């Protein structure tokens, strides 16, 4: 139990909150009110640790990491915080004494969904590990008024519903008005001469006030509490008649509107750049505020700005925060009067960049017109960075236009953020070994040749505290009973489980737990989606963002194929299987949304066909999000990780499934490669083209899906069912676009961009191996336990230690709480 936790005090605190906030006694309280009262009581405990942590940081004058990210997909805080202050049994007891169930209370919390998918969730796992390992860090982001939309399925289609997560107030956040910071947009740059020196000032701009809200990030059982600082926008002068009188009416209205719109909503695109002006405003807004604050905080304690990088590191989570590079330059040049070379040295020693994708549609390239209009001074600085860099390229590769074309930062009317991020920092990392190799040898080859010392790999990880300890209590307790609780902060120790994989009784215990978790998921799906699941069937799960490269389409085409087999032969000997899908599609991504409709259309037909004796069932789980993800991972038998090789930079869901004892059915892509390396190919189901083969086809051509269509009857039959109304009798043309995407070469894109038809036969073959393997329960249990036992590498604690050692160079801090008098 945490030093600061006392059961009686806590109970009093809950009762006090109930009275003070709601004017109620507990027996009158709704679960939602109880949630609030408990959350405030937990925050009370955390606050002391939070204060103590920051005192210690100040005292030791620590180096601090700023993890700059447009997204933090935190998931619910209450359950996790209770676990982190090590008070779960006590809080559970208190609630029972008061007539409440902790699970029900936790369910009242909205998921703070300030992120889309993998990238945002990774940021959240990193914050958890940083605090647990005792490293000084801030997460810096945006307090979106509306987070990731809630998904409803109606008539098989996705509907987006706004996520009003702040509706009832958020108990864990703390408004820090004292750190409000001005951020300027637009206008023009004026040159003034001061003491014989040229100085640049932005004039005629609009500004907004950035106001930070802090959320505590509680380390596990170590009294360390770090901060997630998310910025809200406010109008700088509240709109008043005063300004009307001064003739600034128009500007006052504009500033008011700017503030309102800027943090309004999270763009729901994952791995896709849409080029929206408001998005660039969001980027500069939170970066300018965060960087200004970081500099101010440093200068409060130090007098030499030249050593800024000794105490500060900025990690850029993808290219989204790249304006941090010119923003830091601006502050150093314009506010501190440093020379270009001095400013550049400090900046490039402070910034480091993580690349999360090679998908070309994700690359951010802002039109010069827009960029320079919105950020005139920043654009000047970018131009100068580019001018100097082009000079360097020309010196190194005289006359080589190709190098200039590929590496320039400003080129062809665009500002290329990835190039700026690579040049503006001291480190460039990929997120899995294969991904980093592809960056070095393909995507970023020219940069790697010029500056090889910057490139390094940091294979992603996940926090076992949320995805096993909190999400799967039955398995967590079982693991602890077998090997002790060390794994909670030292996941590699989970390898000690391996010996139990040989023990028939342990296998049985493991399978019983899996079964109970399947019942729990079945209950969830029944309650939320009204669909019955059979927990005795095999649960085959694909949950992740909907994207063509992730190939949910291949999965459902295979289900359609299986169904045809069953219709041909109702006595087909197969293990009953439930195919579960969960995925949000970006609101404007038509084909992705049509794929959701297809999955639901197939589900409709198959689930209502009595003739197949319930051998397959297809379920689309509505509104996939962090809180139900925890339940889903715990219940999975098979983990579908079937992206086109080379396209999934890492994947992190794959790791969460493994930790919960699901077997991977996947391609040799992203971190799957390393997962298979840890658990052994014999305990996974691998299929499909290698990334080398994919890249060769992409470079040299020669792939013709029509050939496959013509030669493979089963594939042809499935594809014809997309356009003959088999799954959409009312509208036979409904899925024409999907059919065309696989076969039609008329468009400028190659047909079947993601090699679905090419991999489908080998996927079907791997699925047959899964079916065979599942029949041998002893084998399956053993392989599942070995997956859990081999998951040690994939803790985000390991990832963070690697970042610290190779990039951030932070010192661990210990926080002792003073005993209260």
Q: For binding to ligand H53 (CB under 6 A), which residues are involved?
A: 116-119, 122, 270-271, 318, 356-357, 362, 431, 460, 648-652, 670
Tokens of 198: 């040229």
Distances in whole angstroms, Cα of residue 344 to Cα of each of 338, 382, 696 = 9, 12, 39
Distance CA 408, CA 394 (A): 11
Closer to ligand H53 by CB, 69 or 108: give it: 69
CB of 316 to ligand H53, least distance (A): 12
Tokens of 490: 């030292």
What is the β-pairing status of strands 577-582 and 616-620?
Answer: parallel
- Rounded to 10 degrees, the C-alpha dihedral 524/528/534/536 comes to -20
The structure tokens 């131009």 sit at 383
Task: Assess whether 23 carries a catalytic annotation.
Answer: no
Closer to ligand H53 by CB, 524 or 549: give it: 549
Q: Which residue is nearest to ligand H53 (CB)?
A: 118
Q: How many CB atoms lie within 10 A of CB 20?
A: 11
The H or E element that residue 618 is part of is strand 616-620
What is the β-pairing status of strands 538-543 and 455-457?
Answer: unpaired
Per annotation, catalytic residue among 377, 656, 758, 798: 656
Task: Assess whether 667 carries a catalytic annotation.
Answer: no
Distance CA 317, CA 270 (A): 13
Task: Assess whether 403 carries a catalytic annotation.
Answer: no
Closer to ligand H53 by CB, 267 or 308: give it: 267
Q: How many residues does the chain have?
A: 821
Distance CA 119, CA 141 (A): 13
The H or E element that residue 778 is part of is helix 777-789
Per annotation, catalytic residue among 518, 545, 617, 782: 545
CB of 666 to ligand H53, least distance (A): 13
Per annotation, catalytic residue among 312, 354, 652, 799: 652
CB of 116 to ligand H53, least distance (A): 6
Burial bucket for residue 434 (CB in 10 Å: 0-12, 13-18, 19+): buried
Q: Work out the end-to-end distance of the chain between its first and last CA atoms, rounded to an integer number of angstroms.
A: 19
Per annotation, catalytic residue among 416, 466, 544, 758: 544
Task: Assess whether 656 carries a catalytic annotation.
Answer: yes
Closer to ligand H53 by CB, 18 or 676: give it: 676
Closer to ligand H53 by CB, 270 or 446: give it: 270
Distance CA 683, CA 782 (A): 9
Distance CA 809, CA 350 (A): 11
CB of 356 to ligand H53, least distance (A): 3
Closer to ligand H53 by CB, 148 or 252: give it: 148
CB of 386 to ligand H53, least distance (A): 23
Residues 6 or more apart whose Cβ sits within 8 Å of residue 581: 541, 542, 543, 552, 555, 556, 599, 618, 619, 620, 621
Task: Assess whether 545 carries a catalytic annotation.
Answer: yes
CB of 460 to ligand H53, least distance (A): 5
Closer to ligand H53 by CB, 434 or 783: give it: 434
Per annotation, catalytic residue among 272, 377, 416, 550: 550
Asked whether the beta carbons of 798 and 491 are under 8 A apart, the reply is yes
CA contacts within 13 A on the Cβ side of 768? 10
The one-character DSSP state at 574 is -
Q: How many CB atoms lie within 10 A of CB 616?
A: 23
CB of 71 to ligand H53, least distance (A): 8
The neighbouring-strand residues paired with 201 are 190
Per annotation, catalytic residue among 356, 377, 465, 518: 356
Closer to ligand H53 by CB, 649 or 757: give it: 649
The one-character DSSP state at 494 is G
Closer to ligand H53 by CB, 347 or 357: give it: 357
Among candidate residues 455, 457, 452, 456, the one with its CA nearest the CA of residue 431: 457
Tokens of 243: 């300004």
Task: Assess whether 550 carries a catalytic annotation.
Answer: yes
CB of 347 to ligand H53, least distance (A): 23
Residues designated as active site = 356, 544-545, 550, 652, 656
């Amino acid at each position: 139990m945490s030093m600061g936790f006392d059961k009686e005090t806590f109970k009093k605190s809950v009762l006090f909150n109930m009275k003070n906030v709601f004017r109620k006694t507990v027996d009158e309280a709704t679960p939602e009110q109880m949630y609030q009262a408990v959350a405030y009581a937990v925050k009370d405990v955390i606050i002391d640790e939070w204060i103590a942590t920051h005192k210690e940081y100040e005292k030791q004058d620590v180096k601090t990491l700023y993890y700059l990210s447009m997204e933090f997909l935190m998931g619910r805080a209450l359950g996790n915080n209770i676990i982190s202050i090590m008070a779960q049994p006590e809080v559970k007891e208190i609630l029972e004494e008061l007539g409440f169930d902790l699970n029900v209370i936790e369910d009242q919390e909205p998921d703070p969904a300030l992120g889309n998918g993998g990238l945002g969730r990774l940021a959240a796992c990193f914050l958890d590990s940083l605090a647990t390992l005792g490293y000084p860090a801030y997460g810096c982001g945006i307090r979106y008024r509306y987070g990731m939309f809630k998904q409803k399925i109606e008539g098989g289609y996705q509907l987006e519903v706004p996520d009003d997560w702040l509706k009832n107030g958020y108990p864990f956040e703390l408004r820090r008005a004292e750190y409000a910071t001005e951020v300027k947009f637009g206008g023009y740059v004026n040159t003034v001469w001061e003491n014989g020196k040229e100085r640049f000032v932005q004039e005629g701009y609009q500004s907004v006030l950035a106001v930070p809200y802090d959320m505590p990030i509680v380390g596990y059982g170590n009294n360390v509490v770090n901060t997630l600082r998310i910025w809200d926008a406010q109008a700088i002068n509240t709109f008043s008649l005063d300004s009307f009188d001064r003739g600034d009416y128009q500007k006052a209205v504009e500033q008011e509107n700017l503030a309102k719109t800027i943090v309004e909503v999270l763009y729901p695109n994952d791995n896709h750049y849409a080029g929206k002006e408001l998005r660039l405003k969001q980027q500069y807004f939170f970066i300018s505020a965060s960087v200004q604050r970081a500099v101010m905080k440093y200068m409060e304690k130090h007098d030499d700005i030249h050593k800024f990088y000794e105490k500060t590191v900025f990690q850029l989570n993808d290219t989204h925060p790249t304006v941090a590079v010119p923003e830091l330059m601006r502050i150093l040049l314009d506010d501190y009067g440093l020379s270009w070379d001095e400013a550049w040295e400090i900046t490039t020693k402070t910034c480091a960049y993580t690349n999360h994708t090679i998908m070309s549609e994700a690359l951010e390239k802002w039109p010069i017109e827009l960029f320079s209009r919105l950020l005139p001074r920043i654009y000047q600085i970018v131009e100068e960075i580019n001018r100097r860099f082009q000079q360097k390229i020309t010196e190194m590769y005289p006359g080589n236009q190709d190098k200039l074309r590929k590496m320039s930062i400003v080129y062809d009317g665009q500002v290329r953020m990835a190039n700026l991020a690579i040049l503006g920092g001291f480190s460039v990392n990929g997120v899995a070994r294969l991904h980093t190799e592809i960056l070095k040898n393909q995507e970023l080859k020219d940069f790697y040749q010029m500056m090889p010392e910057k490139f390094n790999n940091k294979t992603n990880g996940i926090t076992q505290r949320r995805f096993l300890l909190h999400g799967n209590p039955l398995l967590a307790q079982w693991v602890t009973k077998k090997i002790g609780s060390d794994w909670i902060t030292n996941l590699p120790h989970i390898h000690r489980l391996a010996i139990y994989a040989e023990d028939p009784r342990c296998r049985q215990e493991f399978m019983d737990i899996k079964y109970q978790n399947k019942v729990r998921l079945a209950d969830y799906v029944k309650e939320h989606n009204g669909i019955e699941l059979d927990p005795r069937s095999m649960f085959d799960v694909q949950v992740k963002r909907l994207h063509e490269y992730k190939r949910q389409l291949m999965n459902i085409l295979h289900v359609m194929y299986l169904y045809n087999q069953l219709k041909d032969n109702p006595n087909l000997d197969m293990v009953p299987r439930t195919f579960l899908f969960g995925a949000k599609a970006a609101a404007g991504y038509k084909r992705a949304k049509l794929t959701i409709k297809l999955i639901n259309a197939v589900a409709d037909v198959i689930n209502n066909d009595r003739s197949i004796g319930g051998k397959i069932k297809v379920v689309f789980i509505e509104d996939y999000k962090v809180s139900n993800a925890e339940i889903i991972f715990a219940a999975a038998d098979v983990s579908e990780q079937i992206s086109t090789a080379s396209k999934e930079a890492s994947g992190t869901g794959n790791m969460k499934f493994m930790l919960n004892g699901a077997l991977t059915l996947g391609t040799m892509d992203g971190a799957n490669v390393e997962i298979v390396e840890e658990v052994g190919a014999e305990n996974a189901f691998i299929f499909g083209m290698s990334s080398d083969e994919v890249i060769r086809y992409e470079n040299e051509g020669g792939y013709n899906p029509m050939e496959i269509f013509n030669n493979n009857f089963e594939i042809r039959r499935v594809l014809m069912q997309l356009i003959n109304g088999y799954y959409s009798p009312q509208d036979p043309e409904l899925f024409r676009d999907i059919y065309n995407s696989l076969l039609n070469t008329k468009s400028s894109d190659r047909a079947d961009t993601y090699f679905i038809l090419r991999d489908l036969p080998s996927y079907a073959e791997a699925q047959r191996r899964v079916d065979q393997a599942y029949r041998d329960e002893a084998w399956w249990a053993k392989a599942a336990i070995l997956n859990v036992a081999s998951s040690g590498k994939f803790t985000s604690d390991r990832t963070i230690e690697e970042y610290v050692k190779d990039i951030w160079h932070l010192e661990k801090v210990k926080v002792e709480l003073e005993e209260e008098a």
